[in-house]
Structure 1
Amino acid sequence: MRPETTASPAAPLLRAERLSITFGGIKAVTDFDLTVGDGEIVSLIGPNGAGKTTCFNMLTGFYRPTGGTAQFRGQVITGLKPHAIARRGLVRSFQKTSVMKNLTVFENVVTGHYLQTRQSLMQTFLFEGASKRAAEAARQRSAEIVQLLGLGTRSETPAHHLSCGDLRLLEVGVALAARPTLLMLDEPAAGLNTAEANAFGEVLRTIVATQVRSLLLVEHNMGLVMGVSDRIVVMNFGRKLIEGTPAEILGSDEVREAYLGKGAAGKGAAGKGAGR
């Protein structure tokens, strides 16, 4: 069982207020609000084209919002470059697997540590001992992450030999090596079968509070979303439609209509009655 959330709603790790962005006169996202509290797993869901990944891109500096603000740990991050936001502890993955396929599992995870490295070439020569100790610490932590993700037996396997499920785990490992406070995963279960998605969900529960403080997911696998989320935020047509617990979202006629179209809510209610 995951630990209870410790942060109050007034002091979230991440807060987005009225985030908006326009592309060529088209409003892609309008007045989007979001909070992620300490210890939470929050999922952002919605039909294709709802604006979920666009929100991720605004929060992590890949898109500059045309309106609204985002704060991380009480500091405004709107307008910062992606690497500056990542160094503050807000780290993300991407829809397409971005590991280095010719490196081994272990080598890929080691590369993630260098996000936090700011040492110049001169410092490397002047403080050679400290550099070696830092490198050894990075290797030790990388080995721990590989084991945590269940990839220990494939530590020396080149990434291009991994299954889709193991590649997704490896991508999480690379992100964890950067020591995020809040980890944002964009469709991490894409391509996974049911068993792989269930196992992936167990990994996500394990890393919260042991490796990261919170998780924010964009995901289409509803089994995974309902199994791991504390709260779910639903988007449609670039706006927040509704948010609530998994049980509240499952029972929402608004969500059913967004995914299945008008008339689905009534059919769902009729189906429930017929089954009693």
Structure 2
Amino acid sequence: MRRRSSLTAEKDSDPELKQRPGRAAAHPATRGRQGPGEEPRMGKRPFRRLGLLGKIKRMMMVLLFVYVSIPFIIKLFPSIQAKLVFLNFVRVPYFIDLKRPLDQGLNHTHNLYLEPEAGLKIGVWHTVPAQMWRDAQDKDGDWYRSTFSSAHPVILYLHGNAGTRGGDHRVQLYKVLSSLGYHVVTFDYRGWGDSDGSPSERGMTSDALFIYDWLRQRMEKTLPLYIWGHSLGTGVATNLVRRMTERGE
């Protein structure tokens, strides 16, 4: 009995043995165990769910703020609205030389510049009917102007916003209309492509009316001149026809 009590006393007095129960409690196998008086610990998963919901709410608030603020920004800065409507700063395709329609596959097209107003030049393309493509090789502007007296009708094409008269889809349309026997005349409004000035509704209508009058002076009076507007160009075409009606045409 004495021997047992002495061994017990040695265990109680041994500091290393006293620390062993603490080590056992820190063991990974016992970390998840809870004592009778301990409060239940919350796992990590609910916190993650709450964090995800918080991020979604934050994102929705940011989108709502942007959505509500855009009308006020446009109201305070009208020039932004004009930029979004005209998109004249977007030039697709990039890095093309509008002075060389041949680079876009138009080997029967002439590039020229006209002045609807003093000191303001706009770029124009004139594509002759496909039947004339052989005769058109290496010809100058005088030859192209003389072809307006032929028996082929003319289409004045008014393109939409963004891009230039050298846009890929526009070039393909010129080729189709040319193959059907039409002259195709198109141009970049002021502020588009390599044309001078800045865009405006009045300026676009004025440019279209100027090109129309320029064509009528060179065409046979009996030949029809078709006005083809695409996208934003439909608004220009409507304004052009309204101006012609006001002049009694």
Q: Same fold (TM over 0.5)?
A: no
TM-score (norm. length: structure 1): 0.19
Greater strand percent: which structure? 1
Which one has the largest radius of gyration?
2
Greater RCO between the two (CA within 8 Å, min separation 6)?
1
Greater helix percent: which structure? 2
